[in-house]
Amino acid sequence: MTTQGDADCNLSASKMSVNGRGEAVSASYSKSVKGNHSFNFSVSKPRLGWQKYANFSASVYRNFTGLPWNNADVTENAFVLGYDGKMFQKRLHHSVKINSIWRVLHALQDAPFAIREHAGHTMKCSLENTLAWDTRDRSILATKGYLLRGAQEYAGLLGDATFIKHQVDLQAAAPLFLGMFLSASLQGTLVSSVAERSLHLIDRSYVGGPHDVRGFVMNSIGSRAGSSSLGSSATAVAVAHIYRPLIPAEMCYAHGFVTAGSTASVRSHDQIADMVEAPRVSAGLGLTFIFRDMIRLELNYVLPLRYVPGDAIAPGFQFGVGMNFL
């Protein structure tokens, strides 16, 4: 099953240490009940050194993704070159990606004109750079340590997608008493067009939903056209949790949380003022499940405490699954 609820037929194969030096080759193919085809072929090669761990990779893929918050779907055909490196006892992470992605946005039948005007083909050629310092004991749900991460993406080398994106992530966790621990996260994103044309719908920033600002429909906070989200040029999210391990202690947790988020539209002339003017706030209680440090599930009861008329709020029980949660 996919996160969109579609059943898939999947085939995958991989080969490790192809030439005896840690190289890896993997391939996968999937077909959904809707007839959409996706594939991925990737190769990677490690480069090891004293207190240095590096990996070079290349991949070709086709991916079909539903964007229900936009009332649209997107097909991506891509070629990606990547570098990942770790130093200083694997605490310093550095990654670089060169992306060439042919994208096709398909507006659904009930999509408003504000979505339809972005439909069709776009080409994104971009360079991504990420630098992070990570001392957490585990990334999926840390009980101690902190993360400082900064990422930039520049699109406009070729193609018609032209923007600069900056994202900053801060996260810290610390033990309390009776086995409980505190976790807090901050995330800020800024996307700016570097051409006279408007920022494309796919390239905008989105927040809301069970992974960040809980109590709202997925990626729904900000400007809207009917039931469709139009995304933002700037977003900020702050989340604080208190966790209490249950049984088994490394797998199941009870938690209470407060989340807050805000956005600025792509037409904003004063992004900071717009974000301060209309914050969204929610609070709740729930259960968190961790499976083999690979996937995280949350079942929460959430109450939106502050929202703007027209927001797609989701009070009550909310379920989330994935790897990256704030």
Could you count the other beta carbons within 10 Å of the beta carbon of residue 5? 7
Average pLDDT over residues 221-248: 92
pLDDT tens column, 242-287 = 999 998 888 999 999 999 999 998 888 888 888 998 899 999 999 9
What's 38-322's CATH class? Answer: mainly beta
Query: Is residue 6 predicted with pLDDT exceeding 80?
Result: no
Query: Is residue 149 predicted with pLDDT exceeding 50?
Result: yes
* Encoded tokens for 244: 């209490």
Average pLDDT over residues 75-101: 92
% of the chain beyond a pLDDT of 90: 62
Residue 127's pLDDT band, with cuts at 50, 70 and 90, is very high
Contact 174, 145 (CB under 8 A): no
Query: Is residue 101 predicted with pLDDT exceeding 70?
Result: yes
CA distance 34 to 7: 9
Between 60 and 48, the more confident residue is: 60
Q: Is 227 exposed, middle or buried (0-12, 13-18, 19+ CB in 10 A)?
A: middle
Average pLDDT over residues 282-311: 93
Query: Is residue 206 predicted with pLDDT exceeding 60?
Result: yes
Tell me if residue 115 falls in helix, strand or coil. Answer: helix
Average pLDDT over residues 217-222: 91
- How high is the pLDDT of residue 317? 95
Average pLDDT over residues 117-142: 94
- How high is the pLDDT of residue 104? 94
Query: Whole-structure pTM over 0.85, yes or no?
Result: yes
CA distance 277 to 222: 12
% of the chain beyond a pLDDT of 70: 96
Query: Is residue 185 predicted with pLDDT exceeding 90?
Result: yes
Tell me if residue 293 falls in helix, strand or coil. Answer: coil
- How high is the pLDDT of residue 3? 47
Query: Is residue 1 predicted with pLDDT exceeding 60?
Result: no
Average pLDDT over residues 107-135: 93
Q: Mean pLDDT in the chain?
A: 90
Tell me if residue 49 falls in helix, strand or coil. Answer: strand
Between 3 and 75, the more confident residue is: 75
